Chains A and B, each alone.
Chain A
Amino acid sequence: MIEQHLPVLIVVVPLIAAPLCVFLFNRTLVYLFALATCWATFGMSLFLLAKVLESGPFSYELGNWPVPYGIEYVVDYFSAFVMSFVSGIGAVVLTYAPKSLNDEIDPSRHYLVHPMYLLCLTGMLGICITGDLFNVFVFLEISSLSSYALISLGRSRRAPLAAFQYLVMGTIGATFLLIGIGLLYQLTGTLNMVDMAQQLADDHGSRTMLVAFAFVTVGLCIKMAVFPLHTWLPNAYTYAPSVVTAFIAATATKVSVYAFVRIVYDIFTPQFAFDVHGLDLFLTVFSLIGIFVASAAAIYQGNLKRLLAYSSIAQVGYMLLGVSMNNQDGLTGGIVHMFNHAIIKGGLFLVVGCFALRLHSVRLEDLRGAAKTMPLTAFAWVLGGLGLIGVPLTAGFISKWLLLTAALDNGFYLVAGLMLISSLLAVVYVWRVVEILYFSEPADAVESAREAPWSMLIPTYLLIVGILVFGIWTSYSVGVASQAASALLGGAP
């Protein structure tokens, strides 16, 4: 009975739980309640994934209103895959959170953190599961607004400014998306994605459709932080509380990429977007420029969070490279990289959170010699960093290898070469930190620091070990991603 309503419950449960948190004044209770909700959501998403793998995609009609009049929730390979890792990371990060939150956020505000966190999760899951275009906008706004609030809670006085910057850029992006959706609605009279795609197939590239396409693309590019629309990201990631950064960095941009892929492949069709209007060329060029510029910028950062933020911009470039290849292997590589990068970057930001807790700084000069007093945390950085570089036997290698073979197979030799060279920049920015951690004389604060608590190390290592596990055992990550890619390339389901 309840099983068949899971597609809606996965959104409704965290949505209802969020306001309930506010009413539970006890901090411990709020936390436990939010934690239980997160893990329950993760369980539901795993269940949905298992069901899709077993019996194929299925959809759910909200309130029994038939499609296309009512809202449809679609559970297919792609959405179930993204939902499972988004909710999984949400659960792991929240498990890690209490000590870090106590340290970084005024206790009187804790009851705000958890509802916002759950709302953000709701929004992201909603974007994944919905089959209704307007819903995408609504959920995007839910997740964005809650993340602005979360970012502004940072300890630094620059956090509200960073949140405001993000708010301005994010709102522009969301508005563009809304304008695009409005134009599409005007053109087709429907908001259901499948229905809209069918109607648009008869529309032979009218100007309205083109304008809608332009608005949607640019709007989502802002949310994905594609170079040169990435300017909001470094500050937002740097000044947000560590836990928030870990959660948002690991999930938010990936969900935007998801929405982008969905809209381009399922609604506009690759034929329209890539073959007629050459979006693939634009994406490839901007991705590559972004990868080089952001990786180079990461090398010069003195703040560990900011370094990882720039690296995130670069990594989005790899995902989009795969997406823009418009073929099975490339798209699989792009989708797998969403997953792999989520656990890598999530894990690394949790490592940063451990340093922030014990050393009260994430500036590189304050981390000197930290491997002596915090060996486990430092080693987690090494492992996560190897994943980021893409060394064999880590998850990062898998996606990089897929992208490489896809590029070579399709004759994009220049792309393949540039991609490999760009990954060397990752070696520089990762190893720069490794050298600081291991080969410098410890600063005074480091000398007296203790290893991070187990309650934080265990969730961190859960993700870090995940990097190794999914670098060796890929049948789930690559298997599901390739099914998702072939469904996307097979046209609208």
Chain B
Amino acid sequence: MTLTPALLIVVSLALPFLVLVLIGLFGKLPNLRDGLTLVLSSVLFYVVCCLADHVFQGGRPELVLGNLLPGFSIGFKVEPLGMVFALVASGLWIATTVYAIGYMRAHHEKHQTRFFACFAIAIFAALAAAFSANLFTLFVAYELMTISTYPLVTHHGTEKAKLGGRTYLGILLFTSIAFFMLAIGWTWSVAHTLEFQPGGILQGSYESGGIQQWQLMLLLALFAFGIGKAALMPFHRWLPAAMVAPTPVSALLHAVAVVKVGVFSILKVAVYVFGMDLIRETSIGEWLAYAAGATILLASLVAMTKDNLKARLAYSTVSQLAYITLGAALATPASVVGGGMHIVMHAVGKITLFFCAGAIYVATHKTDISDMRGLGRAMPLTMGAFFIASISIIGLPPGGGVWSKWFLALGTVETHHLFLLAVLMISSLLNIAYLIPIPIRGFMKPVTGDPPTFKEAPMMCVVPLCCTAVGTIVLFFLANGLYEVLLPITEVAK
């Protein structure tokens, strides 16, 4: 390896831009455009892997681009949590690109160039957020993500897309400007720094009386609700509304990039701004844990009522995101690591489910679960993948999801929140209730005796979803490595 880690950060942030430029240049030549995207996204993943190799060995590469304002710099510092998130985002970008090419072409979607360009910006924003060294950089990346994904959500340009986009942008901008920005400004006025530090930056001010306990609680609330991408109820409406987007968008952005930037930010704020010790000591996370618990249950219950497959998956996402928020609120090493692992496990599982939903739509134009009876007989690979990914989301072996849920449960036990433990268990049961019937129904005998008139979706769609489905099982066996890698984030430098 000849590149220094700081340079690797630059390269990995520059690559999505290169993709953007090339997409712009070769917009008229779809094959070249998509081929380049594919090659460069693979290169990006390789670069991120190189960086990960360094970070997981204890390196903390830094890079400061410069001050946007005196005292507020755009800087990057890579730590394991961000690294894991970057790996997930860049790795799944490849899968999604392959899938999107298949989907968009099979569907003859318009404006594909704009679509892939916005995609590239969103990936850039995700990486910038993952590597951010301070709250200011995180906020800038967060907002860039909101704006760049708006054209993706409203891709079809219909009345429904307009309304969905309005909800999407309205809620995300409202929460981020009214709460998140205020919280950052407040943090700065209390701590006089916005740099992420192990052990947090607010401890000193709390001990010296610069900020009271109730104020800390309010600040945490501003962060938790201000980071609207984490979809904590009652600010979750944007997520189902965004499902008007083409399925690849829902898959990458609303199972991986956008929502995960949200929960990642919450974890990051809990660990590096408040500090886990401070949250436990002052028990300011108590209410947040219950709010997350409520979201977990309510969203699962709503998901059960949805017959539209994508809507059901959207509410399932809301519920699963709250697991991670719960991990941050409990603020024990086990719960935070569990939250970090859940980012990975849920991302791989949920993207598979969305891929399947899209593949079903491409092959059959069916969106309602009630119409999917017997579908699996014609599309065994898709439905099989759906089943495997469901296992992981529910948290049953051999799906990776079992481990993250295990550590989160451990966190509730450690902090004696047996009620929340019960919530987690009930939620898993609800997951079974709303996910498993879909493949079961799929493999049942069709209502009519006629042989189905459709077959599997194009290869470009089916291969990625099979890969990610296998990924959920692979993660089951890799969980220990992931745990070891994430554990350092819970250590406080003395």
Residues of A within 8 A of B (CB): 386, 389-393, 398, 401-402, 404-405, 407-409, 416-417, 420-421, 423-424, 427, 431, 435, 438-439, 472, 474, 478, 482
Contact size range, B: 20 to 34
Inter-chain contact B157/A409, CB cutoff 8 Å: no
* Chain B hits for A474, CB < 8 A: 68-69
* Chain A hits for B467, CB < 8 A: none
> Counting CB contacts under 8 A, is B352 at the interface?
no
Inter-chain contact B189/A405, CB cutoff 8 Å: yes
A386-B147, A424-B174, A424-B178 are known contacts. Are A392 and B140 too (CB-CB below 8 A)? yes
> Counting CB contacts under 8 A, is B204 at the interface?
no
Distance in Å: Cβ of A367 to nearest Cβ of chain B: 15
Q: How far is the CA of A391 from the CA of B145 in the complex (A)?
A: 11
- Which of these binds chain A: B161-169, B227-235, B484-492? B161-169
Inter-chain contact B189/A409, CB cutoff 8 Å: yes
Q: How far is the CA of A407 from the CA of B158 in the complex (A)?
A: 42
Inter-chain contact A427/B173, CB cutoff 8 Å: yes
Q: How far is the CA of A405 from the CA of B184 in the complex (A)?
A: 9
20 A–B pairs (Cβ distance < 8 Å), ordered by A: A389-B173, A391-B143, A391-B147, A392-B143, A392-B144, A393-B140, A393-B144, A401-B181, A404-B181, A405-B189, A407-B185, A408-B185, A408-B186, A424-B177, A427-B170, A427-B177, A431-B166, A431-B169, A439-B162, A482-B70
- 11 more A-B residue pairs beyond the given contacts A408-B182, A417-B182, A427-B169, with a C-beta to C-beta distance below 8 A: A390-B177, A392-B143, A401-B69, A404-B185, A407-B185, A408-B186, A416-B182, A424-B177, A438-B157, A439-B158, A474-B69
Chain B 67-107, CB within 8 Å of chain A: the 1/0 string? 01110100000000000000000000000000000000000
Q: How far is the CA of A421 from the CA of B144 in the complex (A)?
A: 20
Inter-chain contact A408/B162, CB cutoff 8 Å: no
Distance in Å: Cβ of B136 to nearest Cβ of chain A: 9
Q: How far is the CA of A226 from the CA of B146 in the complex (A)?
A: 33
Inter-chain contact B182/A420, CB cutoff 8 Å: yes
> Counting CB contacts under 8 A, is B281 at the interface?
no
A408-B186, A427-B170 are known contacts. Are A421 and B161 too (CB-CB below 8 A)? no
Distance in Å: Cβ of B165 to nearest Cβ of chain A: 8
Q: Which of A409, A417, A420, A421 has the most CB of B within 10 A?
A: A420
* Chain B hits for A392, CB < 8 A: 139-140, 143-144
A391-B147, A424-B178, A439-B161 are known contacts. Are A398 and B68 too (CB-CB below 8 A)? yes
A401-B72, A424-B174, A474-B68 are known contacts. Are A439 and B188 too (CB-CB below 8 A)? no
Distance in Å: Cβ of B164 to nearest Cβ of chain A: 11
Q: Which of A390, A391, A478 has the most CB of B within 10 A?
A: A391
> Counting CB contacts under 8 A, is B427 at the interface?
no
Inter-chain contact A424/B189, CB cutoff 8 Å: no
Q: How far is the CA of A386 from the CA of B147 in the complex (A)?
A: 9
* Chain A hits for B68, CB < 8 A: 398, 472, 474
Q: How far is the CA of A439 from the CA of B159 in the complex (A)?
A: 7
Q: Which partner residue on chain B sits nearest A404 by CB separation?
A: B185
* Chain A hits for B70, CB < 8 A: 478, 482
> Counting CB contacts under 8 A, is B154 at the interface?
yes
Q: How far is the CA of A393 from the CA of B162 in the complex (A)?
A: 25
Inter-chain contact B173/A424, CB cutoff 8 Å: yes
* Chain A hits for B72, CB < 8 A: 401
A424-B178, A435-B166 are known contacts. Are A408 and B69 too (CB-CB below 8 A)? no
Distance in Å: Cβ of B270 to nearest Cβ of chain A: 22
Distance in Å: Cβ of A68 to nearest Cβ of chain B: 37
Those 4 A-B pairs whose CB atoms lie nearest each other, nearest first: A392-B140, A439-B162, A408-B189, A392-B143
Residues of B within 8 A of A (CB): 68-70, 72, 139-140, 143-144, 147, 154, 157-159, 161-162, 166, 169-170, 173-174, 177-178, 181-182, 185-186, 188-189
Distance in Å: Cβ of A464 to nearest Cβ of chain B: 15
Q: How far is the CA of A83 from the CA of B174 in the complex (A)?
A: 36
Q: How far is the CA of A439 from the CA of B155 in the complex (A)?
A: 10
* Chain B hits for A472, CB < 8 A: 68
Distance in Å: Cβ of A336 to nearest Cβ of chain B: 9
Distance in Å: Cβ of A34 to nearest Cβ of chain B: 37
* Chain A hits for B169, CB < 8 A: 427, 431
* Chain B hits for A407, CB < 8 A: 185
Q: Which partner residue on chain A sits nearest B182 by CB separation?
A: A420
Q: How far is the CA of A401 from the CA of B159 in the complex (A)?
A: 35
* Chain B hits for A390, CB < 8 A: 177
Q: Which partner residue on chain B sits nearest A410 by CB separation?
A: B189
Inter-chain contact A420/B181, CB cutoff 8 Å: yes
Q: Which partner residue on chain A sits nearest B159 by CB separation?
A: A439
Q: Which partner residue on chain A sits nearest B180 by CB separation?
A: A420
Q: How far is the CA of A482 from the CA of B166 in the complex (A)?
A: 38
Q: Which partner residue on chain A sits nearest B174 by CB separation?
A: A424
* Chain B hits for A427, CB < 8 A: 169-170, 173-174, 177
Distance in Å: Cβ of B181 to nearest Cβ of chain A: 6
Q: How far is the CA of A438 from the CA of B169 in the complex (A)?
A: 15
Q: How far is the CA of A409 from the CA of B70 in the complex (A)?
A: 15
* Chain B hits for A420, CB < 8 A: 177-178, 181-182
Q: How far is the CA of A276 from the CA of B329 in the complex (A)?
A: 48
Inter-chain contact B162/A404, CB cutoff 8 Å: no
Q: How far is the CA of A420 from the CA of B186 in the complex (A)?
A: 13
* Chain A hits for B144, CB < 8 A: 392-393
* Chain A hits for B139, CB < 8 A: 392
Q: How far is the CA of A472 from the CA of B68 in the complex (A)?
A: 6
Distance in Å: Cβ of A465 to nearest Cβ of chain B: 16
Inter-chain contact A421/B188, CB cutoff 8 Å: no
Q: How far is the CA of A438 from the CA of B69 in the complex (A)?
A: 34
Q: Which of A391, A392, A408, A439 has the most CB of B within 10 A?
A: A392
* Chain B hits for A393, CB < 8 A: 140, 143-144
* Chain B hits for A386, CB < 8 A: 147
Q: How far is the CA of A435 from the CA of B173 in the complex (A)?
A: 16
Distance in Å: Cβ of A227 to nearest Cβ of chain B: 22
Distance in Å: Cβ of B291 to nearest Cβ of chain A: 21
Q: How far is the CA of A392 from the CA of B181 in the complex (A)?
A: 11
Distance in Å: Cβ of A469 to nearest Cβ of chain B: 12
* Chain A hits for B157, CB < 8 A: 438-439
* Chain A hits for B166, CB < 8 A: 431, 435
Q: How far is the CA of A386 from the CA of B69 in the complex (A)?
A: 19
Q: Which partner residue on chain B sits nearest A428 by CB separation?
A: B170
* Chain B hits for A421, CB < 8 A: 178
Q: Which partner residue on chain B sits nearest A391 by CB separation?
A: B143
Q: How far is the CA of A438 from the CA of B111 in the complex (A)?
A: 13
Distance in Å: Cβ of A65 to nearest Cβ of chain B: 41
Distance in Å: Cβ of A376 to nearest Cβ of chain B: 14
Question: B154 contacts which of A389, A423, A424, A439 (Cβ < 8 Å)?
Answer: A439
Q: How far is the CA of A408 from the CA of B188 in the complex (A)?
A: 9
Q: How far is the CA of A404 from the CA of B178 in the complex (A)?
A: 11
Distance in Å: Cβ of A98 to nearest Cβ of chain B: 31
Distance in Å: Cβ of A377 to nearest Cβ of chain B: 17
Distance in Å: Cβ of B135 to nearest Cβ of chain A: 12
Q: How far is the CA of A438 from the CA of B153 in the complex (A)?
A: 13
Q: How far is the CA of A416 from the CA of B188 in the complex (A)?
A: 13
Question: A405 contacts which of B147, B161, B188 (Cβ < 8 Å)?
Answer: B188
Question: B69 contacts which of A391, A398, A417, A424 (Cβ < 8 Å)?
Answer: A398
Q: How far is the CA of A424 from the CA of B172 in the complex (A)?
A: 11
Q: How far is the CA of A393 from the CA of B72 in the complex (A)?
A: 13
Q: Which partner residue on chain B sits nearest A471 by CB separation?
A: B68
Q: Which partner residue on chain A sits nearest B151 by CB separation?
A: A438
Q: How far is the CA of A373 from the CA of B188 in the complex (A)?
A: 46
Q: Which partner residue on chain B sits nearest A427 by CB separation?
A: B173
Inter-chain contact A423/B185, CB cutoff 8 Å: no
Inter-chain contact B177/A405, CB cutoff 8 Å: no
* Chain B hits for A435, CB < 8 A: 162, 166
Q: How far is the CA of A408 from the CA of B192 in the complex (A)?
A: 12
Distance in Å: Cβ of A472 to nearest Cβ of chain B: 7
Q: How far is the CA of A391 from the CA of B147 in the complex (A)?
A: 9
* Chain B hits for A404, CB < 8 A: 181-182, 185
Q: Which partner residue on chain B sits nearest A409 by CB separation?
A: B189
* Chain A hits for B182, CB < 8 A: 404, 408, 416-417, 420
Q: How far is the CA of A402 from the CA of B159 in the complex (A)?
A: 38
